[in-house]
Amino acid sequence: MEGIIEKALKEDLPDILNLQKKAFEKVAMEENNFNILPMTQTLESITEEYEKRLFLKYTLEGKIIGSVRAHLDNDNVCHIGRLIVHPEFQNRGIGKALMKEIESVFKNCTRYEIFTGLNSKNTVALYKKLGYVETSVKDVDGVFMVFMKKDNK
């Protein structure tokens, strides 16, 4: 069955936050660090973030099973963040569909930027498949993060 991608509403935020924690649980376990921001984010802070970013949701049979968020900076660069897919639905093209949709929404930007954990091999591979190239690796709160970009042609 096909899912639906659409703009998330403010009332979707509790479900997105719960999904985010579920999706990042594996990362937190692999890093042995449950203090990473996706795990500690509160409803209050995701609500503040919602005011500044576009949130998309992927809904299947009325249930949110994926999400991504992004915003444009003053240099017309689209910063994409928190691509999440429910663990039971990963590797089915949902993340790819969300990425393609968020890129199409911000189709007039100069480039896209994103980052993920160095140990998140599947995520890094997905971004590379979508045309992103690695720009740097940095230690962020004890977790090595890969920063990637894709020029918008």
**Domains contained in the chain, CATH given:** 4-107 (3.40.630.30)
Residues with Cβ within 8 Å of 71's Cβ and at least 6 positions away in sequence, in order, are 52, 53, 54, 78, 79
Tokens (6 digits) for 106:
């911000």
Say how far apart CA 117 and CA 146 lie, in whole Å: 6
Please tell me the pTM assigned to this model: 0.93
Q: What is the b/e burial string over 55-86, where b = at least 16 CB atoms within 10 angstroms of the residue's CB?
A: bbbbbbeeebbbbbbbeeeeeebbbbbbbbbb
pLDDT tens, N- to C-terminus, the chain (153 residues): 589 999 999 999 999 999 999 998 988 888 788 888 889 999 999 999 999 999 999 999 999 999 999 999 999 999 999 999 999 999 999 999 999 999 999 999 999 999 998 888 889 999 999 999 999 999 887 788 999 999 998
Q: Which residues pair with 140 in a beta bridge?
A: 143
